[in-house]
Chain A
Amino acid sequence: MNISWYLVVSALMFSLGAVGVLIRRNPLVVLLCLELMLNAGNLALLGFARMWADGDGQIFAIVVMVVAACEVAIGLGLIVALYRQRLPVDVDELRELHG
């Protein structure tokens, strides 16, 4: 299969993730969408790595995976903290800070 196909898929994933971030109000789901965006990056990396037959991209992908995991962990921690402060788990209601 052409590498371009993989990349188009990854681009679509990236855009879907971005749209998700824009339209979802539950931070949990927003985090999931962020995972989508990062995974899109990973797919692109691996596609290019295949194209160049190069290991760098794969390493990069692994690192990204770690990063994604860390982000998720922290994000979930934050959500739990919010929840325990009886704050709404809804990004649209988090707008005490504005202006």
Chain B
Amino acid sequence: MSLQTAAWLVLALPLAGSLVIALGGRWWTPRVAGWIGTVAIALAFVFAVIALIKLQDLPEEARVATSSLWDLVNVAGVRIRLGIYVDPLSVFMALVVTGVSALIHLYSVGYMSSDRGYTRFFAYLNFFVFSMLLLVLAGNLALLIVGWAFVGAASYMLISYWYRRTTATSAGIKAFVINVVGDVGLVLGTFFIFREMGVLDYGPLFEGVQGAFDKNDASLVAGMLLILVGAFAKSAQVPLHTWLPDAMEGPTPVSSLIHAATMVTAGVYLIGRLHPLLEWAPTAAAVGAIVGAATLLIAGTIGLAVTDLKRVIAYSTMSQIGYMIMAVSAAAYVGGFFHLMTHAFFKALLFMAAGSLISAMAGEQSLDRMRGFRKAMPFTFGCFVVGGLALSAFPLMSGFFSKDALLLEIGQRGGWYYALYAAGYIGSVLTVIYTWRMIYRAFWGEPCAEAAELEHGHIHHAEHPTNPQTGEIEDTEVGFPGEAHHIAEQTWQMRLAMGALAVLSVIAGVLFLPFGITEWLANFLEPTFADSIVEHPANDGLEAFGLVLTSVVAVVFLAVAYRIWAVGSGRATAWQERFPSLHRLFVNKWYFDELIGLVIVRPVAWVGHWARDSFERIVINGALIGGTTGIVRAGSAAVRALQTGLLRSYAGLVVIGLSAILLYLLLRAA
């Protein structure tokens, strides 16, 4: 099997899985559909591994393969092949995507089993994986955009999976539209590049960019900025991030897979993929890095204030992706992608655990209601702790090494990059606090009613299932969300998936240890980033400093969080009262939704209503149509009014006409 075949199969299997599940429809019993989906993804993972092996067989300087099926477009100098581009980066991404996806599928088999939309769920999920792989493996910018939009669509479908919830559908449309904004940015950015270069395929694009543009050429910068808009939208960077918290309307596995592990990292991938272009436009790269830094800080602060369990994790995701975006924009590729991978593991794990916890709460997501689940859900608690430690970069956890590598690479560039470096550490503080705030609040303290019930071996069921966001009673006629709830303690598929991820969250750091202990990941990605023109001077002192600082931050603030949320009560409130305006800012998520509403949504809606209620009526129907018909009608009335039926007036008009004509002719003669 050649590399290309393996890559195509990676792409084909999820698609096939999706189609088989979808077209089979009601013939599949829910379980079968779930397993078909899981197996398809698992097989895709297998082929991704095969692709990895095949790729490693190639000589290092030629570790890239392309293959195309047919031309989608080949006219007027525009050529879009239906082709793939396999290199270490794409294989790396494919591995992460398929691997995490396989586990999440497995989890879902258990978690979603009482939901009547089960087959639909797996069809969507498989379709999502296909889309993500298409994005990753695409051989040119156009096909990348296709994959890009497909994941957006899959994300939309899954966010509004429980589509009887108005909150879910509006969250879906919000996510989709913001993603389309990103798509458009991507398309326009592509145009800027295409205008000068005339190609869309990666190979010629990367090779030709330095010939086609001057460094930091305005047109290239504009193009790359627009492409970054695409990346920001997909990766939930400010100000295009507002859809991500709302996306938590989707079932928890969806949040886990799409809105934590894979899709939202597409922006990181995009920047990594197009690094030869971005490095040639340093202004754009700087913007990317700054936006990433801003996002990681803003999201971190919001994470301190929100009380919805899934949203806390969502803001954490935003924040972590902010790190990655900052890193890859600053040419810290290995660190960035290393963090992408470890983040995929521990964030997926955290979401899975959160899903389990939410099941135990019978769908309730508010941290305010959760208390003392430590005893009732030991496995879930364990997973939460592992994930939390990794997220807060606790020494020796995977997140510790990846975040460290990431910040180190940024710091190595020196200059103003130290500002980013510092921002990263401030973010670290925030990360630790919001992570442990969440864990302490949910698991420490007196068990709440649900936890107590569970300790007696019985999962709580609400009398009427309600929408956790609005509290309105669910429309259960349709059979979803499912009646029964599944927690990890009772469902082996969930346990298996969470266990695997927990292990990975702990050990994944070995791929790239500091001081050159292991450099597997760096070596593997080396061929992709070999053409990078950014220098990373080694700086052992900085490296050591970073390790210490990271460790200290993690340990100290873990303890601080413990003091605030686990031990005493009321301390959190005291802090809130001390900085009321800051608290309000964070609770209201820095007012981004309101801002976007004010600046974009409301004006557009106003234009729409103005068009419908006023312009259409007054100008189109009134002036254009009414005016014309009015003139004609008035003419008609005049003609008919003249037509009195009086013979003498007719004769009068004849005489008037006669004298008029004679007058004209006389004047003419004169």
How many angstroms between the C-alpha atoms of A22 and B651 in the bound complex? 6
- Is B464 interfacial (CB-CB < 8 Å)? no
Interchain CA distance A30-B470 in the complex, whole Å = 90
Closest residue of chain B to A15, judged by CB? Answer: B655
Of B206-214, B340-348, B556-564, B637-645, the segment with at least 4 beta carbons within 8 Å of chain A is B637-645
* Given A18-B655, A22-B655, CB of A97 within 8 Å of CB of B648: no
For the residues of A in contact with B, the DSSP-based class is loop
Decide if B648 touches A25 in the complex (CB within 8 Å).
yes
Quick check: A99 and B648 within 8 Å, CB to CB?
Answer: no
Cβ of A86 within 8 Å of any chain B Cβ, yes or no, is no
Q: Whole-angstrom distance between the alpha carbons of A21 and B655 in the complex?
A: 10
Report if B646 contacts A (CB, 8 A).
yes
Whether B652 is near chain A, meaning CB under 8 Å from some CB there, is yes
The answer to whether A23 touches B645, judged by C-beta atoms less than 8 angstroms apart, is no
Q: Flag if A21 contacts B645 (CB, 8 Å).
A: no
Query: Which secondary structure dominates chain B's binding surface?
Result: helix
B647 part of interface (Cβ distance < 8 Å): yes
Q: How far apart sit A68 and B385, CA to CA, in the bound complex (Å)?
A: 121
Structural contact, B645 and A95, CB atoms closer than 8 A: yes
Q: Are A22 and B640 in contact (CB under 8 A)?
A: no
- Determine how close the nearest CB of chain B comes to the CB of A99; give it in whole angstroms: 5
Interface residue tally for chain B (C-beta within 8 Å): 10
Q: Are A98 and B645 in contact (CB under 8 A)?
A: yes
Q: What CA separation (Å) do A95 and B640 show in the bound complex?
A: 13
Q: Cβ of A23: which chain B residues have Cβ within 8 Å of it?
A: 648
Determine how close the nearest CB of chain B comes to the CB of A48; give it in whole angstroms: 18
Interface string of A61-99 (1 = CB under 8 A from B): 000000000000000000000000000000110111111
A95 and B644 within 8 A (CB):
yes
Contact A21 B651, beta carbon cutoff 8 Å: yes
B645, B646, B647, B651 interface centre (most CB from chain A within 10 Å): B647
Known: A18-B655, A22-B655. A92 touches B648 (CB 8 A): yes
CB distance from A17 to the nearest CB of B (A): 11
**In the complex, chain A residues whose CB is within 8 Å of the CB of B640:** 99
Partner of A91, one of B643, B647, B652, B655: B647
Instruction: Convert B629-670 into 0s and 1s, putting 1 for each residue whose CB lies closer than 8 angstroms to a CB of A.
Output: 000000000001001111110011001000000000000000
Contact B648 A22 (CB under 8 A): yes
Q: Which of A25-61 contact B (CB under 8 A)?
A: 25
Chain A residue with the shortest CB-CB distance to B644 = A98
How long is the Cα–Cα vector from A91 to B644 in the complex, in angstroms?
A: 12
Contact present for A95 and B646 (CB under 8 Å):
yes
C-alpha gap A97/B644 in the complex (Å): 8
CB-contact partner of B645 in A22, A25, A97, under 8 A: A97
A25 contacts across to B, CB distance below 8 A: 648
Pairs A–B under 8 Å by Cβ, sample size 23:
A18-B651, A21-B651, A22-B648, A22-B652, A22-B655, A23-B648, A24-B648, A25-B648, A91-B646, A91-B648, A92-B646, A92-B647, A92-B648, A94-B647, A95-B644, A95-B645, A95-B646, A96-B645, A98-B643, A98-B644, A98-B645, A99-B640, A99-B645
When A and B form their complex, which 9 residue pairs have the shortest distance between CB atoms, in order from nearest?
Answer: A98-B645, A95-B645, A91-B647, A21-B651, A99-B640, A22-B652, A18-B655, A22-B648, A99-B643
